[in-house]
A and B are shown apart, each in its own frame.
Chain A
Amino acid sequence: MTTTGPTRSLSAYVTVACLVLMLPIVIVIILAFGHQGYLKFPPESYSLRWFATFFGDPRWQRALWSSVLIASIACVIATVLGFFAAYAFVRGDMRAKKLLLSFMLLPIIIPHVITAIAMYFLSGPLKLVGNVVWIGLCHATVALPIVLLILLSSLQGVDVNLERAALSLGSSRFGVFTKVVIPLAFPGILSSALFAFLASFDELIISLFLAGVRSETLPVRIWNSLHLQVEPVIAAVSAFLIGVTGVVLLLDAFVRQARQARLASYSNVR
């Protein structure tokens, strides 16, 4: 590419923008490794002190386990139901497909505050506040649209003729799923499960209403302490959450790469 004036200033702009975009993430990670008892940048000395506080404090531990438990429940429900729904969208011929899809994406469009209050309103009388399975189900509704969006494009890549062939060779409907569709869509299913987990793991507003004292999640505990006083341990917890995001993105990149390698080997066979 020739470096004309506009291109060069665009490059400069993009560089600055990227630095600003990464700045908050990087700063939090650096602060998390600071040693002193208050937030200071740059830290005077570095240690793992605040990570030790995070992993040593039973209340933070409980919050971590609540988060993991709820996110796992939400991830399984959203991925399984989302997979079947995406399959129905790709293979089924229903009327008003686009309308139905846009309805199923509503949980990420409607402000979470409204959804959370409505769920909370119902949870009180039913004694469901603090129930991890219920919170997991509620999170699943928010994770479902993400699973759908990922799997729709992934299932579109599965050749319908392979399914027809399996059926005509005597495979059952179940066999078509377990031996053809799921293996072929597996990278997409993994990706969607990862992002469904992350969506629930990072969800704050629904948890804020539904968690009660019993099942406080990590984001809820961060929220509560940000309202009282900014403790340095929050930096360590935030760095941990950034780490979880990093792991998810890394795993997703691996999955994508594996899929591309497999697609390449397919075309070689052909």
Chain B
Amino acid sequence: MTVKKSRKFSDATVFILPAVLLLALVFVGPLIWFFIQALASVGTPAEMLSYAWTIITSKAVVTALMTTNWISLMVTLLVLLISYPLACYLANNQGMRFTLVLFCIVVPYFTSIIVRTYSWMVLLGRNGIINQVLLYLGVINEPLALLYTKTGILIGMVYVLLPYMVLTLFATMKAIDPSLMRAARGLGASGFYAFTRIYFPLSVHGVVSGSLIVFILSIGFFITPALMGGPSDVMIAMLIERSVEIMFDWSGAAIMSLLLLFATLVLYGIYYRVTDVRRMMGA
């Protein structure tokens, strides 16, 4: 009887097929087709490899990869430093305070990236609000170059990616038993000591998964750096877009895409090992 019942439910597996079909036809299919076609047009496998080598070692790609890595590392570090106290506060407060802080994180989170980028462009421009305020207060004598610099990219990307980190850290910190900290303090540990020896180690898991997800999303970032960066701040995703839009160089785009895809999948593989994917995006 039980066997029959559970069989009745094991056939629920078939319900996954329509979604798998959609992904196969509209997502995986086009990706594989693109890579095969774009690379096959280069010629024999040997020609393909030497072509791939010229692309990967070209100055534009090497520079873009270095820029991408540097920006992504900086963004991840900054996001982590800014988010940690916020998540800590969220995990240890309830009621109105909790709701209010969560509101301030969730509203930007669900606002269109192009809108968030646009508003930072307005804020950071040469005659933007931040420069106006700083000039008015006499902090600076001439406008700071914020927009169209790496600083601009960092500010924009940190703003966009911050919620992912806060929500990931929050999920981990919420699970930390507050009585552990109280016990440590009760036994005479200083606040600092209790934090570094008890709280932080227990939150490391969130730090690792949050940093991974932010870094993964950073290396493929396109909109914010394209709008807020200067001419020399080219990230790999921008280079891929340009080679298609401006130079119609599908093969070059395919090789750079494979490189970015490979890095993304390796990091996602690590993320998959260390964390529960169902918790992604703070769901």
- Measured CB to CB, the residues of A under 8 A from B are 4, 6, 10-11, 13-14, 17-18, 21-25, 27-28, 31, 39, 41, 77, 80-82, 84-85, 87-94, 98, 100-115, 117-122, 137-138, 140-141, 144, 146, 148-150, 152-153, 160, 163-164, 167, 195, 198, 201-202, 204-205, 219, 222-223, 226-227, 230, 234-235, 238, 241-242, 245-246, 248-249
Residues in A whose Cβ lies below 8 Å from that of B23: 103-104, 106-107, 141, 144
What is the minimal beta-carbon distance from A207 to any residue of chain B, in angstroms? 10
What is the minimal beta-carbon distance from B84 to any residue of chain A, in angstroms? 10
Residues in B whose Cβ lies below 8 Å from that of A11: 89
Contact A14/B114 with A85-B16, A94-B16, A249-B106 known, Cβ cut-off 8 Å: no
What is the minimal beta-carbon distance from A156 to any residue of chain B, in angstroms? 10
Closest to A150 in B: B283
Q: How many A-B residue pairs have CB under 8 A?
A: 248
Assign chain B's interface to a size class: 35 or more
Best-buried of A28, A114, A219, A245 by chain B (most CB within 10 Å): A114
Cα(A14)–Cα(B170), bound, Å: 14
Cα(A222)–Cα(B237), bound, Å: 20
Q: Which of B234-262 contact A (CB under 8 A)?
A: 237, 240-241, 244, 250, 253, 257, 260-261
Cα(A246)–Cα(B42), bound, Å: 49
What is the minimal beta-carbon distance from B44 to any residue of chain A, in angstroms? 22
Cα(A202)–Cα(B111), bound, Å: 8
**Surface stretch bound by A, among B55-63, B202-210, B215-223:** B215-223
Best-buried of B5, B30, B113 by chain A (most CB within 10 Å): B30
Cα(A164)–Cα(B8), bound, Å: 9
**Which of B6, B104, B159, B264 lies in contact with A109, CB distance below 8 A?**
B264
Best-buried of B11, B19, B22, B129 by chain A (most CB within 10 Å): B19
**Which of A4, A17, A163 lies in contact with B86, CB distance below 8 A?**
A17
Main secondary structure of the interface of A (DSSP, over half): helix
- Measured CB to CB, the residues of B under 8 A from A are 5-6, 8-16, 18-20, 22-23, 26-27, 29-31, 33-35, 37-38, 82, 85-86, 88-89, 100-101, 104-108, 110-116, 118-123, 129, 132, 159, 162, 191, 216, 219-223, 227, 237, 240-241, 244, 250, 253, 257, 260-261, 264-265, 268, 272, 277-278, 280-281, 283
Closest to B100 in A: A18
Contact A204/B114 with A141-B23, A245-B107 known, Cβ cut-off 8 Å: yes
What is the minimal beta-carbon distance from A54 to any residue of chain B, in angstroms? 14
Cα(A17)–Cα(B159), bound, Å: 11
Contact A107/B27 with A24-B159, A85-B15, A230-B121 known, Cβ cut-off 8 Å: yes
Contact between B123 and A23, CB atoms less than 8 A apart: yes
Contact A241/B34 with A88-B15, A152-B278 known, Cβ cut-off 8 Å: no
Which 10 A-B residue pairings sit nearest by Cβ, starting from the closest?
Answer: A111-B220, A92-B13, A24-B119, A202-B112, A88-B16, A85-B19, A91-B12, A149-B283, A118-B34, A18-B104
Cα(A144)–Cα(B18), bound, Å: 11
